[in-house]
Amino acid sequence: MTGSDVGSEAERKMQFLFALRKRGVTNARVLNAMEKIDRGVFLRGLFAGRAYEDMPLPIACGQTISQPSVVGLMTQALDVPPRAKVLEVGTGSGYQAAILSRLARRVYTIDRHKRLVVEARRIFEDLDLNNITAITADGSRGLPDQAPFDRIIVTAAAEDPPGPLLAQLAIGGIMVLPVGQSDHVQSLIKVTRGEDGFEYEELLPVRFVPLIEGLGQE
């Protein structure tokens, strides 16, 4: 790599962080985690070169890696304490899980596509992210064996928050997820579980792939 390559790489990363701040990602812990985890590692071929653009990009199995600013805003809304046990539904590329792994004690991530889980696991190993467990399963049922979770993040859109996920959220816990019709406008919502029930807050309009029940074909 030449000196100018190093310069442009650093500059791209600075622009990436600047774009995140401009979109409202201001939490220092979140920005720090996003600075440390290189999004390019989670992309293949041509798309790896576009890793620092604030855009969703295609990954295997017809899925997408989310837009970085949306990853940042969701992670920020999740408000992850260092001791938290976190569940992510929708591993996809593994990018969101990798960011969570720097903020939480333990991360469980589930995808219905085995191929995505296998690829993500390999990246977690390469990056020495040893506190992530990636599992092939239908995440709309959650992960009853490991419940309750302090934080739950869903990165695929359901019409309503799935009941099993609400049930597996600890008292005092937070869940962030997109809800709405799959190809219409969806809202990102934050669900907080108190002693007496759930509180719902609408955060911003988003667009995610749908949450689909059952396992994928590959």
Out of 90, 142, 173, 180, the only residue in the binding site for ligand SAH (CB under 6 A) is: 90
Determine if 84 is a binding residue for ligand SAH (CB under 6 A): no
Out of 39, 85, 113, 121, the only residue in the binding site for ligand SAH (CB under 6 A) is: 113
CB 93 within 8 A of CB 28: no
| HEC letters along 135-161 | EECCHHHCCHHHCCEEEEEECCEECCC
CB 88 within 8 A of CB 97: yes
CA distance 16 to 192: 30
Residue placing its CB nearer to ligand SAH in the complex, 1 or 46: 46
Out of 104, 123, 156, 189, the only residue in the binding site for ligand SAH (CB under 6 A) is: 156
In the complex, what is the shortest distance from the CB of residue 80 to ligand SAH, in angstroms, rounded to a whole number?
15
Helix (H) or strand (E) holding 121: helix 114-126
Categorise residue 197: left if φ over 0, alpha if ψ from -120 to 50, beta otherwise: left
Residue type at 72 in one-letter notation: G
Determine if 138 is a binding residue for ligand SAH (CB under 6 A): yes
Determine if 168 is a binding residue for ligand SAH (CB under 6 A): no
Residue 66 tokens, joined? 């989310």
Determine if 27 is a binding residue for ligand SAH (CB under 6 A): no
Out of 76, 96, 101, 186, the only residue in the binding site for ligand SAH (CB under 6 A) is: 96
CA distance 83 to 170: 13
Residue 100 tokens, joined? 């969570």
Out of 39, 112, 121, 151, the only residue in the binding site for ligand SAH (CB under 6 A) is: 112
Residue placing its CB nearer to ligand SAH in the complex, 27 or 96: 96
Determine if 211 is a binding residue for ligand SAH (CB under 6 A): yes
187 in catalytic set: no
Q: Hey, which residues are catalytic here?
A: 66
Binding site for ligand SAH (CB under 6 A): 63-66, 89-90, 92-93, 95-96, 110-113, 116, 138-140, 155-156, 209, 211-213, 216
